[in-house]
Structure 1
Amino acid sequence: MSHHLSGPNLRSPKDDARLDLTDLFVFPAAQDGRTVLIMNVNPFAPTQGEAFHPDAVYRLNVDTDGDDIADLAYSFVFSAHENGRQTVTVHRATGDQAREHEAGGQAVVSDATVAFGAEPNIVNSGDLRFSAGLRSDPFFADLDGIVNDFKWTGNDFGIDKNVFGIVLEVPDSELGDGPIGVWARVSLRQNGRLVSVDRGAHPSLTAYFNAEDVKEKYNAGEPADDWDTYREAWSAVLAHTGGYGTEAAEEALRTVLPDVLRFDRTRPVAYPNGRTLTDDVTSARLAMVSGGKITDDHIGPHTDLLDEFPYLGHPHPVS
């Protein structure tokens, strides 16, 4: 999986698909001078959750100075789902407010309608463009082959799947002049307290690297702590799966730890410099964990992607 089913025992966090972060994407917009940020949640949508969770805060964090701490954050808070309708408010926070998991700062989009049908609802608010709703899952991988000792089947797990997409397009000036780091988080309000239940940036990390009893701790953690917390255990995984020595393992892990997706807009976009909807991240991760012995699962990107906002394809029919 990419980041699908990121709770213990290959289940959604809190056994609730609405809280399950599946993927993060960062790439240049079709219009010059703008950047697209996408976080997808809810694998198998809408059958395992017909709307976004009304007690959750969905969040895109942006680090603009390289310290792995958010300097800018966009939080998405959804209303209850009633009579087939749900709305969302987008908050923009900077400075100290960007470092809190609460949805602080200014409301830059208010009560926008979530799209559950075939057509997206696109909202333009100032320099921002935003859309949230049911979309085709862009993730592609031969998961059957991966779990069957890499005997490839040709079956693409994501070819008929849907997710709930949160798509934001912002001017580059919003993100500063230099490289940025981005990660997504889903937090749930429980007993009056907001608890982080999922987070991530790079694809296919927690499934390969985290033991089952570590996943909840990882989902609650902060990227700035990742290197010290996970370097040793993840190096041991690479030693076991790919025959890495200590130095080689640490060099490989510096790409994904801290778990922040870097994007330098002066360089061509291709994972791990940002991530487009067609980047073959499954093959990249297989090559990493196998020490270069497995380099391709022979599944290509989806062909239903859009050339313009919101970029994610139209949702598949739901049986």
Structure 2
Amino acid sequence: MSTDFTGLRRGAPLGDPRLDLCDLYVFPSPKDPGRTALILTANPDASPMHPDAVYRIAIDNDGDLRNDIAFNFTFSEPVNGRQKVDVRLALQSEARVDAAVGSEIFGGLDVSFSDEPHLWRSRSGSFSFFAGARTDAAFPDSTVIAMAVELPTAYLGAAPDVRIWARCSVNVDGRFQHVDRAGHPWVSGFFPDDADRAEFNADEPNRDQGRWMGHLIELMGETGGYSRSEAIDAITAEGTLPDVLTYNPRKPARYPNGRTLGDDVADYRSRFLTKGRTPLTDFTPRQDFLPDFPYLCAP
């Protein structure tokens, strides 16, 4: 959660860029509308990932804001600049376990640090996967590590929508510490105080409204002159809290219904916080993406 609405990077969790979640994307495959891409970017240094961390994309498909499906990504110790990644698929109660549990759908795959991506497909053919260095869609001059999964849209279990978010947890002395999370884009600008941001990152989406609604209402009063009722209406309309991306695959994908790689979320977020008064006209995301999975361009 390192990107705020001004476009500046905030400090990494625990001072470690490897634990820093950047952006979460959810959109249909451009070539097959029956498939959905889930992409989590992290580590703005684009170096090997933390071997004691669990990076997770979580999906709630029944509206209780608890994980029903989780893709867990774990990385090996890097050796001579090379690294392996495992992907586990956890369902229901297993999807709520901090550790990387579930069925292994990809194991010991090479992370792509070169221009040529290693692309993988599961034995069943249902899942495609990529992990490696890619150009940051939000900051075209930056490089990040992308973890990308493409799967049949029906697997999400949308009825009619799902809620998707990401988490980074790191094993510290035998216990997992939740150090970052990602849902709506550029939310870290809501928490200029380091202690508040750390608490938010460690929390669960089902606590967001009760814990953080008052904070966001106050912030929007300061940034946009919102009254309390106006702020609540805007938060409700966007679904800002809880901090999860809502995605209805039957509707066009454009933030806040999912998020595509080319969505101008900087302008959107600035207008949201200032009640439409301040667009970010000097900030434009790149639009030249790959036509095929994993869609993000090589660095």
TM-score by length of 1: 0.88
Are the structure 2 counterparts of residues 285 and 296 from structure 1 closer, same or farther at C-alpha, using a change threshold of 3 Å?
Answer: same
Q: d(CA) in 2 for partners of 1:33 and 1:183?
A: 21
Does residue 295 of structure 1 match 2:292?
A: no
Give the secondary-structure state (helix, strand or coil) at the position aligned to 1:302. Answer: coil
Aligned to 1:132: 131
Q: What code does the residue aligned with 1:159 have?
A: P
Does residue 107 of structure 1 match 2:107?
A: no
Does residue 261 of structure 1 match 2:245?
A: yes
Q: d(CA) in 2 for partners of 1:205 and 1:131?
A: 26
1:5 is displaced (CA, Å) by: 8.0
Aligned to 2:39: 38
Aligned to 2:255: 271
- Between 1:270-279 and 1:83-92, the stretch displaced more is 83-92
Q: What code does the residue aligned with 2:200 have?
A: Y
1:118 is displaced (CA, Å) by: 0.5
The 5 Å alignment of 1:69-148 reads 69-125=66-122, 126=124, 127-139=126-138
TM-score by length of 2: 0.93
Q: d(CA) in 1 for partners of 2:86 and 2:58?
A: 16
1:20 is displaced (CA, Å) by: 0.2
- Between 1:220-229 and 1:9-18, the stretch displaced more is 9-18
Does residue 202 of structure 1 match 2:201?
A: no
Q: Deviations over 1:66-124 (max 9, x none)?
A: 12111000000100000121111100011111112211110011111100000111000
1:210 is displaced (CA, Å) by: 4.7
Aligned to 1:164: 145
Q: Deviations over 1:197-241 (max 9, x none)?
A: 000200111223452221111111000000000000110000111
- Give the % identical residues: 38
Q: Deviations over 1:150-208 (max 9, x none)?
A: xxxxxxxx231100000000111211142111000000000011111000200111223
Q: Deviations over 1:250-274 (max 9, x none)?
A: 1222321000100001111110000
- Between 1:239-248 and 1:210-219, the stretch displaced more is 210-219
Q: Deviations over 1:122-165 (max 9, x none)?
A: 000021000000000000xxxxxxxxxxxxxxxxxx23110000
Q: What code does the residue aligned with 2:250 have?
A: T
- Contact kept in structure 2, 1:80 and 1:86, CA below 8 Å: yes
* RMSD value, Cα: 1.6
Does residue 27 of structure 1 match 2:27?
A: yes
Give the secondary-structure state (helix, strand or coil) at the position aligned to 1:10. Answer: coil
Are the structure 2 counterparts of residues 177 and 205 from structure 1 closer, same or farther at C-alpha, using a change threshold of 3 Å?
Answer: closer
Give the secondary-structure state (helix, strand or coil) at the position aligned to 2:118. Answer: coil
- Contact kept in structure 1, 2:51 and 2:76, CA below 8 Å: yes
Q: d(CA) in 2 for partners of 1:183 and 1:36?
A: 13
- Contact kept in structure 2, 1:5 and 1:12, CA below 8 Å: no
Does residue 248 of structure 1 match 2:230?
A: yes
Unaligned runs of 5+ in 1: 140-157
Q: What code does the residue aligned with 1:116 have?
A: F
Are the structure 2 counterparts of residues 191 and 5 from structure 1 closer, same or farther at C-alpha, using a change threshold of 3 Å?
Answer: farther
Q: What code does the residue aligned with 2:105 have?
A: V
Q: What code does the residue aligned with 1:15 have?
A: G
